[in-house]
Structure 1
């Protein structure tokens, strides 16, 4: 029962749409109405409001971190913590508050990884930052980080429960970026900092 309640709570926390909240706070349009249509920090940045984008990024990351830390402090097992991490992540991807159409999960996954293992989280975030800086494509950076995270975890922890859950997160992230992959291959992907059209 404790595990079931923890999973529901983590899912609901993950469902909190910070992109929508920050856009409302700063008087911006619904982020689903422009750019990629994704309710996430990168798309909010296309509104031109960096503060709203930063608030979205921090909020989405912190909900992932908070869920894992609470599970850890509650004395849950590694397997239970892994399930909580997955639940908060899935909450962001498929939020009940947005009719199950959420963000790509990059910031929330980063928050989860930083809580599970700070070194792993930093290595993954560092990969994202490096690729994003060089390419200016948030989606490409996310794909590279998603692919690298399970490898980093395997090197650090071997075939552990944590590595399995990180692998699941990575595959889910890549799956959510399928349309971005298509646009990247077609040379039509929007770069970081590009404002909304119209």
Structure 2
């Protein structure tokens, strides 16, 4: 059952809604437009706010669905959390699209909403404030993802296995955003509203 859950989660994550929607509306590959990232932020730059909100919701639901399926299969908590990680891996490295996808922020949000709701809400508020102040989506996203499992440790209410996998998700997110981090340190990261960025 674990293997089934992991595979299903990965396949669900591999459905690139930003690619499909952009291809349908504008007849272009979003990975060759804007920042080259197949995610909601780049969809905003390429198509506008309506399609971007749609992509964001659908990508979040990928993480939610992965967790719900794992829970329906009555897996242990660590396996449920690992299913969420598989969905994020699917989004980042989609088998249907040559393993070139997004950075996994929205799908991570879906996973964290299900696994670490209170830490996520707190981290989400902080992340949104940072984005509003700095207009760096990458900065707010990275801080949100790092803070969520960190706050779960501080709160101490959540399973150690979920928190541990949460930090694996952090490592993946930092790796995916490594170039954004370099640009942030050098003051070269593009802000929300520019053609390139997250």
TM-score, normalised via structure 2 length = 0.91
How many pairs were matched up? 195
Contact 2:23-2:30 within 8 A present in 1 as well: no
2: CA distance, partners of 1:28 / 1:153: 43
- Matching residue of 2:173: 173
**1:44–1:53 Cα contact (<8 Å) kept:** yes
Instruction: Tell me by how many angstroms 1:4 deviates.
Output: 0.7
Runs of 4+ in 1 over 4 A off after TM superposition: none
Q: Is the 8 A contact 1:139 1:177 kept in 2?
A: yes
Aligned residue for 1:26, secondary structure, equals: helix
Going from structure 1 to structure 2, the CA distance change for 1:9 and 1:44 (only over 3 Å counts) comes to: same
Deviations 1:24-64 (A, max 9, x none): 23325322112211001111111251111111111111000
Q: Structure 1 residues 102-111 or 17-26, which shifts more?
A: 17-26
Say yes or no: does 1:63 pair with 2:62. Answer: yes
Report if aligned partners of 1:115, 1:121 keep a CA contact under 8 Å in 2. Answer: no
Question: How far apart, CA to CA, are the structure 1 residues paired with 2:16 and 2:195?
Answer: 21
Paired residues of 2:37 and 2:101 also in contact (CA < 8 A): yes
Cα displacement (A) at 1:146: 2.2
Unpaired segments ≥5 residues, structure 2: none
Confirm or deny: 8 A CA contact 2:5 2:69 kept in the other structure: no
Q: Secondary structure at the match of 1:47?
A: helix
Q: TM-score, normalised by structure 1?
A: 0.91
Give the corresponding residue for 1:8: 7
SS in 1 for 2:189: coil
Q: 1:159: Cα distance to partner?
A: 6.6
Unpaired runs of 5+ residues, structure 1, are none
Is contact 1:28-1:47 (8 Å) kept?
no
Q: How do 1:43-82 and structure 2 match up within 5 A?
A: 43-82=42-81
